[in-house]
């Protein structure tokens, strides 16, 4: 949120000692020498990673990122790095064991109140207990205070509810598990919820989708700190897949079609999928549904949750992604086949929706080239 708004919020919840605090973030970039994939690092400091856990948190939401940061520490040690890159700690409402939704407990070495020493990267795990925690005013006040002093603020899955309740996500783009995006948007209308990406960065705030997406995001944070080559080597050590950018969709748009109810709209959706190259105007689609354009638009949006034009673009992007992954067709031919008309229009759409070009997408995801 804007600094003035955040300062006012902290004052309201009882932290009126924020005057004079630096509103900026000092990013210390370590000196590093990268030679191919054999990465050598010289670090000037250890970054403190604080992972918030609570009763009913998802164990992987917490241990997944911890494990990835831990693997980075082990790899750095193996290469003779003089300073450990990360110091990882779990933070709970109290010091001691915290029961997870899976049954086993995690040990919180620090408590939310009093706040631990300044945290470089604050991560809020998700899980069934996140809803209860988001209604705990004492807890969310403590989270807001710690977040204000952190360089990076992160949520995994439904941990976004806790950050949203603290006010940290106001005016920010955010994501959570796709099944909870609607609830997050309704409960916190000041948060700009985007249901598709596996993770999103908005300034110094990072939110991610369900469970393993938190590990993808952690690799992105390591890449940000220590470079892509080192993050790639961490992924190799963990046998992880370092190819998923945050903009990759949580699930295919074709699954959305399968989730649509039967009837006229379902038939129209199937027609669009089978005829991507045609010009799908609201008028032509309404005629196929035997409705007036106005009625069709309203019914489609209310039933499917998006406008007809957005649906058309979404399924075209989805089809183009599959062809880029699986076929040898040139980008120009794919653009025509999927209804973009020309390569430039498809390129602009990919940049707007995915943040990368069609060529770059093919390089990352192609299984045949």
CATH number at residue 333: 1.10.10.60
Residue 102, exposed/middle/buried by CB under 10 A (0-12, 13-18, 19+)? middle
Helix (H) or strand (E) holding 134: helix 130-134
Q: Do 286 and 227 share a structural domain?
A: no
What are the φ/ψ torsions at residue 189 (nearest 5 degrees)?
A: -65, -15
Q: Do 196 and 157 share a structural domain?
A: yes
**Measured distance CA(359)–CA(113) in Å, rounded:** 49
**Measured distance CA(198)–CA(247) in Å, rounded:** 6
Q: Do 97 and 37 share a structural domain?
A: yes
CATH of the domain at 104: 3.40.50.880
Per-residue pLDDT at 33: 31
**Measured distance CA(119)–CA(117) in Å, rounded:** 6
Per-residue pLDDT at 10: 43
Q: Do 201 and 268 share a structural domain?
A: no
Per-residue pLDDT at 240: 67
What are the φ/ψ torsions at residue 108 (nearest 5 degrees)?
A: -90, 115
- Asked if the structure places residue 245 within a domain, the reply is no
- Asked if the structure places residue 247 within a domain, the reply is no
DSSP 8-state assignment for residue 289: T
Q: Do 229 and 132 share a structural domain?
A: yes
Asked whether the beta carbons of 215 and 209 are under 8 A apart, the reply is no
Q: Do 231 and 258 share a structural domain?
A: no
Per-residue pLDDT at 24: 29
Of 44, 34, 124, 38, nearest in space to 85 by CA = 44
Peptide bond just before 357 cis, omega within 30 deg? no
Asked whether the beta carbons of 64 and 56 are under 8 A apart, the reply is no
Q: pLDDT (tens digit, 0 to 9) for every residue of the chain, 369 residues total?
A: 443 444 444 433 443 333 223 322 222 333 333 333 444 566 778 999 999 999 999 999 999 999 999 999 999 999 888 889 999 999 999 999 999 999 999 999 999 988 887 899 999 999 999 999 999 999 999 999 999 999 999 999 999 999 999 999 999 999 998 888 889 999 999 999 988 788 889 999 999 987 778 888 898 899 899 988 888 888 888 866 554 555 555 555 455 555 567 688 888 988 888 888 899 999 999 999 999 999 999 999 998 888 999 999 988 998 898 888 778 889 999 999 999 999 999 999 998 888 889 998 888 776 544
- Asked if the structure places residue 343 within a domain, the reply is yes
Per-residue pLDDT at 29: 32
Q: Do 191 and 71 share a structural domain?
A: yes
- Work out how many domains the chain is built from and give that number: 2
Per-residue pLDDT at 7: 42
Decide: helix, strand or coil at residue 287: helix
Per-residue pLDDT at 19: 28
Which residues partner with 33 through β-bridges? 40
Q: Do 36 and 78 share a structural domain?
A: yes
Per-residue pLDDT at 85: 95
Of 276, 311, 318, nearest in space to 297 by CA = 311
The residues near 332 (Cβ < 8 Å, ≥ 6 apart) are 342, 343
Q: Do 312 and 195 share a structural domain?
A: no
Please give the residue range of the domain that contains residue 128: 3-237
What stretches of 175-279 show up as alpha helix (H) in DSSP?
181-187, 213-226, 228-237, 253-259, 264-274
Instruction: Please give the distance of CA 199 from its chain centroid, rounded to a whole number.
Output: 1
């Amino acid at each position: 949120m804007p600094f003035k708004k955040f300062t006012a919020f902290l004052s309201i919840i009882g932290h009126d000692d924020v005057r004079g605090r630096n509103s900026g973030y000092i990013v210390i970039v370590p000196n590093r020498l990268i030679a191919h994939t054999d990465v050598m690092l010289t670090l000037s400091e250890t970054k403190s990673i604080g992972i918030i856990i609570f009763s009913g948190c998802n164990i992987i939401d917490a241990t997944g990122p911890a494990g990835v940061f831990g693997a980075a520490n082990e790899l750095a040690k193996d290469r003779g790095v003089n300073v450990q890159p990360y110091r990882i700690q779990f933070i709970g409402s109290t010091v001691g064991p915290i029961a997870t939704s899976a049954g086993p407990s995690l040990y919180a070495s620090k408590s939310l109140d009093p706040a631990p020493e300044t945290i470089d990267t604050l991560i809020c795990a998700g899980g069934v207990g996140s809803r209860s925690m988001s209604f705990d005013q004492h807890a969310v006040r403590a989270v807001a205070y710690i977040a204000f002093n952190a360089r990076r603020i992160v949520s995994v899955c439904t941990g976004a509810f806790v950050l949203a309740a603290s006010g940290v996500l106001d005016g920010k783009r955010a994501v959570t598990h796709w099944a909870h995006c609607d609830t997050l948007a309704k409960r916190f209308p000041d948060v700009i919820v985007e249901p598709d990406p596996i993770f999103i960065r908005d300034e110094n705030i990072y939110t991610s989708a369900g469970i393993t997406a938190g590990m993808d995001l952690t690799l992105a944070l390591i890449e940000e700190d220590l470079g892509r080559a080192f993050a790639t080597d961490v992924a190799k050590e963990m046998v992880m897949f370092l190819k998923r950018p945050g903009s990759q969709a949580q699930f295919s748009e074709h699954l959305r079609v399968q989730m649509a109810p039967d009837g006229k709209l379902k038939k129209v959706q199937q027609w669009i999928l089978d005829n991507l190259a045609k010009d799908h105007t609201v008028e032509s689609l309404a005629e196929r549904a035997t409705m007036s354009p106005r009625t069709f638009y309203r019914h489609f949006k209310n039933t499917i949750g998006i406008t007809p034009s957005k649906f058309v673009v979404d399924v075209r992007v989805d089809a183009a992604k599959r062809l880029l992954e699986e076929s040898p067709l040139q980008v120009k031919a794919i653009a025509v086949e999927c209804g973009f008309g020309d390569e430039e229009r498809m390129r602009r759409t990919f940049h707007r929706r995915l943040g990368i070009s069609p060529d770059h997408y093919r390089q990352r995801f192609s299984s045949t080239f």
